[in-house]
Each structure stands twice: as structure tokens, then as C-alpha cells.
């Protein structure tokens, strides 16, 4: 017990979390000064469960019926017949030709019959277009709502127009009701993504996206505890904008609206580069790394906070490379094909990660485009 108490004192030391000569008592929440309260960080977890219920309801009663109405089909109802031997051999893995030959002998089947069973079994495991359409529709709705809400909330805040207001008077920054809700809802969404990722469509960028979600949550928690909510709100706003077009392009692709998909992908590429590789590093990270030290004294937690911002930039650079590669292939092919995000199908060769951004990333988000086969 004593060890835990000592660890807690060291971990929560104001010398780590706050600027010099500032204590926790100085920024303790009061009715007059509503500073960020670390105890509120527990709220987004139950709120994430509410978000998941809302998502389930929208997918079940809105997105899925609408998807069927516009002609998006679920997987074929034809399933592989139960077979204990083949099920055990398959188990989600790719089976080699030697194994197929051995299984055919064991079952007294032809190799073609085994291969046909495996094809049906693989198709049975694949997520349907309708499932992916519903997932992307939900994310598109959230990012659109979050971006417009964030823009509305921050429009009259001085730090949107002059980022140095994120540091003037720090750490004595009260958190208004609208910013409080903006933070809590954003954190609850990223918590919900972290939970749902384990039962959503499995994608090739699973671990990159998981790191993105966790980094986003940790970043938001750090900014909340350290009362760096102003810069945190700007990070959220910048990241949500591109994810709208990422998920919108995926929705259009699953709905077979190819021209709309192409147009949204072009917009995504432009907005992504401007926000994730322009505004984010040259406005936000430049400000936190160069301008902030001129205005306020640095402290350990701030360096950790800035490192997390830089980690997101590394993920953005990787995903930007994939987006540009996909855009180049799509331009040469004349159109985009495949999924706009890495997908569980083994047939898809080109990947695009996205925010997922998540997230923090969003985001980012997911994309896959296959070059047109001539």
C-alpha cells in the first residue's frame, strides 16, 4: 500500500505535469474557474458504450436498409457444408496444394471438390459490401458531425485565430461547457473505435490503426490532465476534416457510385495533404515546438505531449505515401477500383490507411484501391 502511495505521489508530481511554481491546487476546479478535472476522464468509457449502441441502431435500422434499397448486397447465402476435417484444416489459414491433395484422399473427394469447399468457406468469412458500407456510413456521419460541431464551438474562441492564445495565461485556462462536451464526445468515439476494432471488418492495417486510436486517447488524456485543452481541440478539428471524404469515398465505392468515389478521393487527397501534412506540422507542431517555449516554461509532461503529436505525424507521413501511391495508380488506370482502405480480402493488393485517424486516428481510416485491369 505504501509503495502504491509513493508511486502515485511521484507519478502525479506537479514538477512533472505542470510548469514550474504551479501546483495542482492552483488549477483545482472551482465554480468560478472550471479547469479540466482529471476525474472526468472516466466519463468517456461508459459514453463509448452509448456510442456503440447508437452506432448499432443506425447501422441496423438506417444504413443497412438504405444500402439494400440502393442495391448493395450482403454475402451470398450459399455456404460451405459443415465438415469437421476441412474446418480444422482451414481455420482461417491459406491451404497449400499438398494439403489439398492429402485432404482429398482423406475424405475420398476430388481435389476440385476440396478447392470448391475452401472457396465457399473463404467467401463465407469475407465481410459483405453491405457490412463495410454500414461501417463507413457510420464513420462518415460521425466525422461530418464532429467537424461541423468543432468548427461551430471553436469559431468564437481566440485560439482558433491566433494559436498563441493556447499558451497565454497557461495553465489557468477554464474549460467551457461546449469545449468539455467536444472533448468528452471525441474521446468516447475513439474509445468506441478501440473496442469495436476487434469485431469490425478485419483490415491489414489493424495494428497501425490500433496504435493510432491509443495514441489519440493518450494524447487527449495528457492534454486534459495538463489543461492543454486549447491545443488539443485544434488537433481534433484538423484531423476530422479529411476523414469525412475518406469515409465518403468508401461509401460511394461500396454503393457502386464510381464517379462520386473518384471525385471524393480527389478531394480527400487535397484536403489530406493540406491538413495532415501542411496545417498539422507547420501550424500546430511548429507552434508547440517553437512558439510555445518562447511564451511559457517547459516541463516534462509537455515534452511527452509533443512527442505524441510527433508520433501522429509519423503515421500521417506513412499514410500520405500510400494515398499518393494509390492516386498515382488510379490516375494511370483511369479510375479507382477496389476498397478505399485495407481490407480483409487477400485479393486486394493496394492499401490505403486512413483515421484514422483516428483518431486521431482519428482517424484515419482505411482505403484500398486496385488498379484497373485492362
Calculate mean pLDDT across residues 179-184.
96
- What per-residue confidence (pLDDT) applies to 334? 59
- What per-residue confidence (pLDDT) applies to 371? 33
On average, the pLDDT of the chain sits at: 83
Cβ–Cβ under 8 Å, residues 219 and 309: yes
Question: In terms of domains, do 65 and 190 share one?
Answer: yes
- What per-residue confidence (pLDDT) applies to 183? 95
Question: In terms of domains, do 144 and 224 share one?
Answer: yes
Please count the other Cβ atoms lying within 10 Å of the Cβ belonging to residue 100.
18
51 in a structural domain: yes
Question: In terms of domains, do 108 and 219 share one?
Answer: no
Question: In terms of domains, do 132 and 114 share one?
Answer: no
Convert the pLDDT of each residue in 276-312 to its tens digit: 999 999 999 999 999 999 999 999 999 988 988 898 8
Question: What is the three-state SS of 129-181?
Answer: HHHHHHHHHHHHHHHHHHHHHHHHHHCCCHHHHCHHHHCCCCCCCCCCHHHHH
Question: In terms of domains, do 120 and 139 share one?
Answer: no
| 67-76, 82-91, 120-129, 225-234 — most confident range | 225-234
Convert the pLDDT of each residue in 214-240 to its tens digit: 878 888 998 999 999 999 999 999 999
Question: In terms of domains, do 254 and 118 share one?
Answer: no
- What per-residue confidence (pLDDT) applies to 345? 31
Higher pLDDT, 351 or 73: 73
Calculate mean pLDDT across residues 24-53.
91
Rounded to whole angstroms, the Cα distance separating 297 from 333 reads 53
Burial class, 242, CB count within 10 angstroms (exposed 0-12 / middle 13-18 / buried 19+)? buried
Question: In terms of domains, do 231 and 188 share one?
Answer: yes
| 23-27, 345-349, 370-374 — most confident range | 23-27
301 in a structural domain: yes
27 in a structural domain: no
Calculate mean pLDDT across residues 114-120.
82
- Answer whether residue 373 shows pLDDT above 80: no
Question: In terms of domains, do 134 and 121 share one?
Answer: no
- What per-residue confidence (pLDDT) applies to 169? 92
20 in a structural domain: no
132 in a structural domain: yes
Question: In terms of domains, do 227 and 133 share one?
Answer: yes
Calculate mean pLDDT across residues 176-199.
92
Cβ–Cβ under 8 Å, residues 193 and 358: yes
When pLDDT is cut at 50, 70 and 90, the band that residue 76 belongs to is: low
26 in a structural domain: no
Question: In terms of domains, do 186 and 146 share one?
Answer: yes
Domain count, the chain: 2
Count Cα neighbours of 264 within 13 Å in the Cβ-side half-sphere. 21
Rounded to whole angstroms, the Cα distance separating 9 from 32 reads 27
Calculate mean pLDDT across residues 72-80.
70
The reported pTM is: 0.80
Question: In terms of domains, do 258 and 343 share one?
Answer: yes
Question: What is the three-state SS of 224-271?
Answer: HHCCCHHHHHHHHHHHHHHHHHHHHHHHHHHCCCHHHHHHHHHHHHHH
- What per-residue confidence (pLDDT) applies to 364? 28
The residue segments making up the domain with residue 103 are: 84-125
170 in a structural domain: yes
Question: In terms of domains, do 178 and 285 share one?
Answer: yes
339 in a structural domain: yes
Amino acid at each position: 500500500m505504501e509503495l502504491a502511495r509513493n508511486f502515485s505521489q511521484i507519478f502525479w508530481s506537479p514538477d512533472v505535469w505542470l510548469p514550474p511554481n504551479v501546483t495542482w491546487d492552483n488549477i483545482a476546479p472551482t465554480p468560478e474557474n472550471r479547469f479540466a478535472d482529471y476525474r472526468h476522464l472516466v466519463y468517456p468509457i461508459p459514453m463509448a458504450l452509448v456510442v456503440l449502441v447508437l452506432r448499432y441502431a443506425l447501422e441496423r435500422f438506417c444504413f443497412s436498409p438504405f444500402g439494400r434499397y440502393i442495391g448493395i448486397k450482403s454475402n451470398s447465402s450459399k455456404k460451405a457444408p459443415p465438415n469437421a476435417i476441412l474446418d480444422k484444416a482451414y481455420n482461417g489459414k491459406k491451404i497449400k496444394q499438398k494439403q489439398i491433395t492429402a485432404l482429398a484422399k482423406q475424405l475420398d473427394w476430388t481435389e476440385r471438390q476440396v478447392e470448391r469447399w475452401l472457396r465457399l468457406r473463404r467467401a463465407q468469412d469475407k465481410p459483405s459490401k453491405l457490412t463495410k458500407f454500414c461501417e463507413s456510413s457510420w464513420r462518415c456521419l460521425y466525422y461530418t458531425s464532429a467537424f461541423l460541431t468543432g468548427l461551430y464551438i471553436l469559431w468564437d474562441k481566440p485560439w482558433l485565430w491566433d494559436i498563441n492564445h493556447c499558451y497565454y495565461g497557461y495553465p489557468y485556462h477554464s474549460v467551457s461547457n461546449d469545449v468539455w462536451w467536444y472533448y468528452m464526445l471525441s474521446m468516447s468515439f475513439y474509445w468506441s473505435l478501440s473496442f469495436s476494432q476487434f469485431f469490425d471488418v478485419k483490415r491489414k492495417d489493424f495494428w497501425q490503426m490500433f496504435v493510432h486510436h491509443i495514441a489519440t486517447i493518450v494524447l487527449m488524456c495528457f492534454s486534459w490532465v495538463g489543461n492543454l485543452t486549447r491545443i488539443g481541440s485544434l488537433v481534433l478539428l484538423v484531423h476530422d476534416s479529411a476523414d469525412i471524404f475518406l469515409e465518403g469515398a468508401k461509401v460511394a465505392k461500396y454503393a457502386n457510385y464510381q464517379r462520386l468515389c473518384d471525385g471524393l478521393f480527389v478531394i480527400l487527397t487535397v484536403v489530406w495533404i493540406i491538413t495532415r501534412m501542411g496545417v498539422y506540422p507547420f501550424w500546430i507542431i511548429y507552434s508547440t515546438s517553437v512558439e510555445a517555449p518562447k511564451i511559457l516554461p517547459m516541463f516534462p509532461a509537455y515534452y511527452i505531449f509533443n512527442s505524441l503529436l510527433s508520433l501522429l505525424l509519423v503515421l500521417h507521413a506513412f499514410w500520405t505515401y500510400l494515398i499518393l501511391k494509390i492516386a498515382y495508380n488510379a490516375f494511370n488506370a483511369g479510375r479507382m477500383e477496389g476498397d478505399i482502405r485495407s481490407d480483409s480480402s487477400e485479393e486486394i493488393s493496394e492499401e490505403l490507411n486512413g483515421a484514422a485517424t483516428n483518431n486521431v486516428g482519428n482517424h484515419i481510416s482505411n482505403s484500398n484501391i486496385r488498379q484497373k485491369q485492362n
